[in-house]
Amino acid sequence: MAAPMVTCRKCRYLLHFAHEHLDFRLAELKSVAGLFNIPVSVPTDSQLQNPFVVVDLPNEEAARKIASRTILVKSLFELWAKGSTYEELFSDLRNLPKHFTETYRNGSFCIRLTSFNKQLSMVEKIRRIETLLDGNVAFDGKMNLKHPDNNFHLLEYYGANQVEPSEHPITIYFGRWIADGQRENIKTYHLQNRKFIGNTSMDATLGFIMANMGQVKPNSVVFDPFVGTGSLLIAGAHHGAYVMGTDIDYKLLHSRGRSSRTGQKWRRPDENIYENLRQYNLSHRFLDCLVADASQHSLWRQQPLFDAIVTDPPYGIREATNRVGTTKESVKISEDHKADHVPSKVNYHLSDILKDLLNFAAKYLTLHGRLTFWLPVYRPDYVDEHIPRHSCLHLVANSEQILNSKISRRLVTMEKVKEFDGELADESATMPQDPYQGGTFREKYFTPNSKAPHERPRAARTTAARSACLAGDTTDGRRHAKTMRSEKQDDLTKRTDVVSMASSSVADT
Q: Where are the alpha helices (DSSP H) in 174-308?
A: 184-188, 204-213, 231-238, 250-253, 273-279
Of 223-232, 263-272, 410-419, which range is least confident? 263-272
pLDDT in tens, 6-34: 444 458 999 999 999 999 999 999 999 99
Rounded to 5°, the CA angle 45-51-52 comes to: 65
pLDDT at 390 over 50: yes
Torsion of CA 87, 92, 96, 102, to 10 degrees: -50
Of 18-32, 115-129, 154-168, 425-439, which range is least confident? 425-439
pLDDT at 264 over 90: no
Percent of the chain with pLDDT over 90: 56
Nearest to 417 by CA among 452, 384, 369: 369
Q: Which CATH number fits domain 186-326+341-442: 3.40.50.300, 3.30.70.260, 3.40.50.150, 3.40.50.1360?
A: 3.40.50.150
**Residue-level pLDDT at 382:** 92
**Residue-level pLDDT at 256:** 86
Phi, psi of 243 (to 5 degrees): -125, 150
**Residue 486 binned pLDDT confidence (cut-offs 50, 70, 90):** low
Residue 348 vs residue 26, higher pLDDT: 26
Compute the residue count for the chain.
509
12-182 folds as: VC0802-like (3.30.2130)
C-alpha span between 60 and 57 (Å, rounded) = 8
DSSP 474: H
**Residue-level pLDDT at 386:** 93
Please state, in angstroms and as integers, the Cα–Cα distance from residue 233 to each residue in 9, 131, 289, following that order: 41, 50, 11
Do 172 and 83 form a contact (C-beta atoms < 8 A)?
Answer: yes
pLDDT at 133 over 80: yes
Residue 328 vs residue 206, higher pLDDT: 206
**Residue-level pLDDT at 163:** 85
DSSP 23: G
Q: Which residues contact 200 (CB under 8 A, 6 or more apart)?
A: 228, 229, 312, 314, 318, 319
Q: Which residues contact 491 (CB under 8 A, 6 or more apart)?
A: none
pLDDT at 327 over 90: no
Residue 24 vs residue 256, higher pLDDT: 24
Of 185-194, 210-219, 492-501, which range is least confident? 492-501
Average confidence (pLDDT) over 68-72: 98
**Residue-level pLDDT at 116:** 95
**Residue-level pLDDT at 505:** 43
pLDDT in tens, 74-120: 999 999 999 999 999 999 999 888 877 888 888 899 999 999 999 99
**Residue-level pLDDT at 373:** 98
**Residue 449 binned pLDDT confidence (cut-offs 50, 70, 90):** low
**Residue 375 binned pLDDT confidence (cut-offs 50, 70, 90):** very high
**Residue 455 binned pLDDT confidence (cut-offs 50, 70, 90):** very low
**Residue-level pLDDT at 343:** 74
pLDDT in tens, 280-294: 999 999 999 999 999
**Residue-level pLDDT at 493:** 54
**Residue-level pLDDT at 338:** 64
**Residue 423 binned pLDDT confidence (cut-offs 50, 70, 90):** low
**Residue-level pLDDT at 448:** 53
CA-based max dimension of the chain: 103
Percent of the chain with pLDDT over 70: 81
**Residue 123 binned pLDDT confidence (cut-offs 50, 70, 90):** very high
Average confidence (pLDDT) over 329-347: 70
pLDDT at 458 over 90: no
**Residue 507 binned pLDDT confidence (cut-offs 50, 70, 90):** very low
C-alpha span between 452 and 65 (Å, rounded) = 54
- For the chain, what is the mean pLDDT? 85
Average confidence (pLDDT) over 299-306: 93
User: Could you tell me the pTM of the whole model?
Assistant: 0.83
Of 28-32, 369-373, 436-440, which range is least confident? 436-440
**Residue-level pLDDT at 275:** 95
**Residue-level pLDDT at 470:** 44
Do 387 and 411 form a contact (C-beta atoms < 8 A)?
Answer: no
pLDDT at 508 over 90: no
Average confidence (pLDDT) over 310-333: 77
**Residue 2 binned pLDDT confidence (cut-offs 50, 70, 90):** very low
